Structure 1
Amino acid sequence: MVNIENLQFSYGRKYRPVFTDFSISLKPGCIYGLLGKNGTGKSTLLYIMCGLLQPQGGTVEVMGGNPRAHQPQIIGEIFLVPEEVELPAVCLRDYVKLNAPFYPRFSHEVLQQCLSDFELTDDLRLDQLSMGQRKKAFMSFALATQVRLILMDEPTNGLDIPSKSIFRKVVSSNMSEEQTIVISTHQVRDIDSLLDHIIIMDNSQVFLNASVAEITQQLAFEFRPMGSSVDDALYAQPSLQGVAVVVPNDGTKDTPINLELLFNAFMLKKDLLKHLRV
C-alpha cells in the first residue's frame, strides 16, 4: 500500500531536518497507530503520504505511484482527515453532492450509517458545527469514500467520551481488507482497542514497528495492587490505585495491549525493545 525508502525532508535550511533517512512500509487491511512525541514528524509523514508535501530525497510510493504526481487513480484513493477541519458554509447534503463524485466507490449507505451512529443528519450546516461535530461529519464522509488509504491526524481531539467510543465503532465497522488506515495521535487510550499495528517514532526514526499480536505474544500488560512485587517487571508505572507493569510473556498470559503503558515504557526505557523479536 505504502512504501517509503530513505526519505529526506526539511521545512527549510533554517530548520532541523524532519527526516534524513526514513523508511517504512504499510500493507493493506491494517489499522496503524502512529505514535510519538511532539516534533517527531508524525503529521509531516501523513502530508507526505498524501502528496501535499514534497520530500527532498528518497522515494515515496503509494499504491505503486508517486502521490506528488497527482495522478487521478492515486489521489482518488487517498483521503486525509487533518487535525483541524475547516468546512465550507453549506449543508452536509450539498457538500456530499459536490465532492462524492470524485470517489468512484462512494457509499451513501455508509455515510448515513456513520451519521446515524454519531447522531448527525445530512441537513446540518457545516459552518455552524462545533469542532467535535465537524470532525464527526468529516470522518463520516471520509469512511464513505471507501478509498484504499485513509490518513487521520488526531481524529479524537474535540470528541467527547461517548463519541470516542462511537469513533472506534464506525472505523472498525466500515473498513475493508483492501483498505489501510493510519491514525496519528497522542490520545492513545482512545484507539488502543482499534489498532492492528503499532509504529512508534522517536527522533524522526521508526523506533518500534510491530503488530499488536507480535507485541502481546511477547509482552504482557498487568495492573497490580500497591505494594505488590514488581521484580519481574520490565517497566513499572505507579499510580494512586496501584502499579501498571510490562512483563515478559512466557506464553501463558493473554492481556490486551495498553498503548499508554507501552509508549511510556519505550520512551523511558529504550532497551525494552531488545525483548521484542520483530
Structure 2
Amino acid sequence: MIQVQNLDFSYSKKSQLFSQLNWESRTGNIIGMLGKNGAGKSSFLRILAGLLFPNSGQVSVLGFSPEQRNQTFLSEVFFVPDENFLPGYLPAERYQQILQPFYPRFDSEIFTRLLDRFEVDSQEKIKNLSFGQQKKVGLAMALSSGCALILLDEPTNGLDISSKSAFRKELISVLSEDQTVVIATHLIRDLENTLDRVMILDQGQIKLDADLSDLADSLHFGVSQSEVSGAIYSQSSALGVQFIQERTTQAQTVVNLELLFEGVTSGVPIASFLSKTNSLTA
C-alpha cells in the first residue's frame, strides 16, 4: 500500500527533517506513528497525502505518486489534519452532502450514526461548534469515507475522555479489512488497545516499526520495587520501576506503549530483540 524509499525532506531555510528514510506498509492495519513534538509526524502524513513534496527519494501510495494528485488517488485517501479544515459557514450535514460524491464508497448512514455517537448537532453551523466537536465532524467524515487509506493527525487532541473512548471503539468497528489507518500522535495512551502496529519516528529516522503482536511475543513489560537485572530498559515511576525485558519463559504481557516509546527514543535498540521474521525496521 505504501512504499517510501530514500526520502529526503526539509523546509526552506531549515535543517533537514528526513534523511534517507525508508518505510513500507501493507493493507489492513491500524498503525500508530509515535513521535515527540517536532519529530515530523505531521509532515510525514502530508507527504503521504501529496500536500508536501520530497526533496528526493520515492513515495508510492496505492501505486500512485502522491505529489501528482491523481483523481483516483484523491478518492482513496482521506487526511484529517490536527487543525480545523472544515468550512465554518456550513452545517456538518450539508458539508457531507457536498463532499460525498468525491468518495465512491462513502456511507452516509455511518456518518449520521457517528455524529449521533459523538453528540454533534448535524444542523449546527460548523463555526459554532467547539474545537472538539469540529474534530469529531472531521473524524466522522474520515471513518465514513470508505477510503483505502485514512491519515489522522492527532485525532484525539481536543476530545474529552468519553469522546476518546467512543473514537477508539468506532475506529475498530467501522473499518473493513482492506482499509489502512495511519495515526500520528504524541498522546500515546489514547491509542491503547487500538493499534495493530507501531512506528516510532525520532531524529528524522524510523527507530522502530513492529506489529504489536510481535512486541508482545518478544518483550516482557513489568513493574518492580527495585532495579531488575537484565532489563533492556527501565525507569522509575510512582508505581515503582517499570521495565522491559526480553521475553523467554514469562507470561505474555500487554505492550506498554509509553515505556516502549521512552526506551526507543532514549537510544535502546529495541528492534534487535524482536522476531526477525515479523518486525520491520528502517
Q: TM-score, normalised by structure 2?
A: 0.93
The residue that corresponds to 1:112 in the other structure is: 112
Question: For residues 141 and 77 of structure 1, what CA distance do their matches in structure 2 show?
Answer: 13
The residue that corresponds to 2:60 in the other structure is: 61
Offset of 1:170 from its aligned partner?
A: 1.0
Q: What amino acid does structure 2 have at the position aligned with 1:122?
A: S
The residue that corresponds to 1:26 in the other structure is: 25
Q: Is 2:149–2:180's contact at 8 Å kept on the other side of the alignment?
A: yes
Q: What amino acid does structure 1 have at the position aligned with 2:137?
A: A
Question: For residues 274 and 192 of structure 1, what CA distance do their matches in structure 2 show?
Answer: 23
**Counterpart mapping for 1:195-206 below 5 A:** 195-206=195-206
Question: For residues 122 and 251 of structure 1, what CA distance do their matches in structure 2 show?
Answer: 53
Deviations 1:220-254 (A, max 9, x none): 21233xx3452242222222232322122115422
Question: For residues 148 and 251 of structure 1, what CA distance do their matches in structure 2 show?
Answer: 40
SS of the counterpart of 1:181? strand
The residue that corresponds to 1:103 in the other structure is: 103
The residue that corresponds to 1:140 in the other structure is: 140
Offset of 1:124 from its aligned partner?
A: 2.4
Deviations 1:189-233 (A, max 9, x none): 000210001111121111111100111111021233xx3452242
**Counterpart mapping for 1:120-139 below 5 A:** 120-139=120-139
SS of the counterpart of 2:90? coil
Q: 2:268 aligns with which of 261, 267, 270?
A: 270
Q: Is 2:31–2:198's contact at 8 Å kept on the other side of the alignment?
A: yes
**Counterpart mapping for 1:81-100 below 5 A:** 81-88=80-87, 89-100=89-100
Question: For residues 209 and 138 of structure 1, what CA distance do their matches in structure 2 show?
Answer: 27
Q: Is 2:227–2:241's contact at 8 Å kept on the other side of the alignment?
A: no
Question: For residues 244 and 58 of structure 2, what CA distance do their matches in structure 1 show?
Answer: 37
Question: For residues 84 and 249 of structure 2, what CA distance do their matches in structure 1 show?
Answer: 44
Question: For residues 245 and 98 of structure 2, what CA distance do their matches in structure 1 show?
Answer: 52
Q: Is 1:218–1:251's contact at 8 Å kept on the other side of the alignment?
A: no
Q: What amino acid does structure 1 have at the position aligned with 2:273?
A: H
Offset of 1:265 from its aligned partner?
A: 1.3
Q: Is 1:31–1:197's contact at 8 Å kept on the other side of the alignment?
A: yes
SS of the counterpart of 1:193? coil
Offset of 1:137 from its aligned partner?
A: 1.2
Deviations 1:137-175 (A, max 9, x none): 110011111100000111111111111111101111111
Q: Identify which range, 136-145 or 121-130, moves more after superposition.
A: 121-130
Q: Is 2:32–2:197's contact at 8 Å kept on the other side of the alignment?
A: yes
> What is the number of residues matched between the two proteins?
275
Percent identity, please: 40
Question: For residues 39 and 265 of structure 1, what CA distance do their matches in structure 2 show?
Answer: 18
Considering only aligned residues, what root-mean-square deviation do their CA atoms show, in Å?
1.4
Q: TM-score, normalised by structure 1?
A: 0.94
SS of the counterpart of 1:28? coil
Q: Is 1:217–1:251's contact at 8 Å kept on the other side of the alignment?
A: no
Matched, 1:207 2:236: no
Offset of 1:182 from its aligned partner?
A: 0.3
Matched, 1:169 2:169: yes
Q: What amino acid does structure 2 have at the position aligned with 1:158?
A: G
Q: Is 1:235–1:269's contact at 8 Å kept on the other side of the alignment?
A: no
SS of the counterpart of 2:110? helix
